[in-house]
Amino acid sequence: MASILVADDEAGIREFLHDTLVSDGHAITQAADASEALGRLGSQSFDLLITDLKMPGPLDGVELLRRSRDVQPELKVIVLTAHGTVGSAVEAMKLGAADYLEKPLRGPTELRILVSRTLDPWPANGVPSEADPLQELSRAVHSALGPDFTVEGVVGRGGYAAVFRVHDRRLDRQLAAKVLLPEFAAVPDVAERFRREARTLARLTHPNIVPVYFVARERDVPCFVMPFVEGEPLASLLARERQLPLPVVLRIARDVAAALDFAHAAGVLHRDVKPENILIDSSTGRSLLSDFGIAKALAHGSSGTGPGTFVGTPRYMSPEQASGDDAIDARSDVYSLAVVVYEMMAGKPPFDGISAQQILVKHLTARIPSVGSGAHGTPEVQAVMARALAKGAAKRFATAGAFVFALQVATTRRHAG
């Protein structure tokens, strides 16, 4: 367990952080202001600093963060910031903070997940090194699935789960097993909602949705099994080709829109539409949408979609997701699909930045850049994209299918003219 220094002038916040993290086995030291915290950093070694950004006294949290780099250069830092003051958190991220939590804090789940991820980050490429915990997770997946299945190795890792290739020896077929990462699996309500949502998704049958076959039986390893799609994610295709021809864009968009409209009609939101979750089947050419509803399950388990829960992916989040609004609907997925379509046409997402928080702010406030020139950037196409990427959900297309149909009409009219 870790040694953690908590700095906040509000006694209630300090006690909440103390009680939550002590119950997880961490050693907690408290400081009532930045000066006291800096003094403790000079006399004691810590694994993590959690500090408020706005504290009374000669030093604030930003200055504490800056000076902590001189005292303990390798110290990991999470900052606390008041709701609506994302700018100060972005400034802290530039100084090396790992992430931030908004106050008022939403409960222990969000805190526990963020602390766990900060203290024990996973490799960015998802491929395990010799000492990587994914190897241990692989053994746990094998135990959960039973002796009739062979876990052949990791094929990818997202923000909350890893995917393993699995061979079903009984039926001689290749499968994919998706398992929650340990920091999520350790939170009982998140793990149970993951299993429950997977059972719901097993009833979603559509040619453009990767189906769920079954949920693994072992309680400590939240895991579900899907077919292994021979092909590649759209993310790999974009990395290789950057911009895609308009007919390819429209074909992929139609497939994904059909999947979304089917799921929305069944009452299931996706919340994480992105190129990594769109698989292109090499045998059929169809595009399939994966990970349906799992982000929603995690959001419910953590009391919202705020920072630290890692629900969704910043580059593809709708403005309402970026603001932490729980009351999102199908039009949020429409926005995310439009971001993917924009990237296929322009070669990059509309918004990027040096941190997740900076990207989220752009989704909330920045104008949508032009898609570009040529067939992708005609006035007709620009108008459709502007509507699909509207900041307010009420101004967007009501369904994914309506968006893609309008995009197809815009390109047809242009060519006809």
Alpha-carbon distance of 101 to 6, in angstroms, equals 13
Alpha-carbon distance of 134 to 125, in angstroms, equals 12
Alpha-carbon distance of 98 to 375, in angstroms, equals 41
How crowded is residue 377: how many other Cβ atoms within 10 Å of its Cβ? Answer: 14
| Gyration radius (Cα) of the chain, Å | 23
Name the DSSP class of 293: T
Tokens of 26: 């961490």
Name residue 227's beta-bridge partners.
Answer: 175
Query: Strand 3-7 vs strand 27-31: parallel, antiparallel, or unpaired?
Result: parallel
Task: Decide if 272 is catalytic.
Answer: yes
Q: Nearest to residue 49, comparing CAs of 25, 72, 70? A: 72
What is the per-residue DSSP string for 163-211?
Answer: EEEEEETTTTEEEEEEEE-HHHHTSHHHHHHHHHHHHHHTT---TTBPP
**What b/e string do you get for 17-48 counting C-beta neighbours within 10 Å, with b at 16 or more?**
bbebbeebebebbbbbbbebbbebbeeeebbb
Alpha-carbon distance of 164 to 137, in angstroms, equals 10
Given the residues 8, 99, 272, 281, select the one marked as catalytic: 272
Q: Nearest to residue 29, comparing CAs of 11, 7, 12, 51? A: 7
Alpha-carbon distance of 382 to 342, in angstroms, equals 10
> What residues are labeled active site?
272
